[in-house]
Amino acid sequence: MHDADPPALAAEKAALRRLALQRRALIAAPDAGDALASCLMATPPPPGTLVGGFWPMGEEVDLRPAMHALHQAGCHLALPVTPRRGLPLSFHRWMPGEALVPGRFGTSVPAKPGEPVRPDWLLVPLLAFDRRGFRLGYGGGYYDRTLAAWPEAHAVGVAFSGQEVPAVPVGPHDRPLAAIATEAGFILLER
């Protein structure tokens, strides 16, 4: 792929990814989802906002209480469907309680996906973040491509506060998030 990260940068990201996965296993708190929901709902999107969420995988912070709260607050929700590598995610409307089925890479996706939609807000999973708002994910480049395709979307990273690192290695495709929500509140970004 001609626009892949240069090898040294890719190796740096891979090394941090391994460390971040180990660290997350140590800090993951199963009850952090409620605190995360409180953080997000302190400055909620206006009713009617279409919010792209994600169904938690592995030891990610649990976004389900937040998605419930957003639904109660009159927001619309969508979940990502993961295509083959190299393509952006597609998002499809979903409501709490609607059925999910297994998708690629251990994801859970709407069982009856309607047309693709374009969220106004994107809640973005991550393995590590820094105070500039840069993030590291699982390495698929899926969110990088999605954020590049939708630059006007309000992108909020979602993580445990302990996933902060001094500096995430950044390449030409990495775009900073607008905000980062954690179980301990919003991270004050330094720009």
Ligand X SMILES: Nc1ncnc2c1ncn2[C@@H]1O[C@H](COP(=O)(O)OP(=O)(O)OP(=O)(O)O)[C@@H](O)[C@H]1O
The two tokens of residue 84 are 């083959």
Q: Tell whether residue 142 is a contact of ligand X (CB under 6 A).
A: yes
Q: Residue 173's binding partner, choosing from ligand X, ligand FFO, none, with beta-carbon cut-off 5 to 8 A by kind?
A: ligand X
Q: Report whether 60 belongs to an annotated binding site.
A: yes
Q: Tell whether residue 138 is a contact of ligand X (CB under 6 A).
A: yes
Q: Tell whether residue 5 is a contact of ligand X (CB under 6 A).
A: yes
* Binder of ligand FFO out of 44, 83, 140, 162 (CB under 6 A): 140
Q: Tell whether residue 125 is a contact of ligand FFO (CB under 6 A).
A: yes
Positions touching ligand FFO (CB under 6 A) are 54-58, 60, 80, 82, 89, 105-107, 125, 137-138, 140, 142-143
Positions touching ligand X (CB under 6 A) are 3-5, 13, 136-145, 148, 171, 173-174
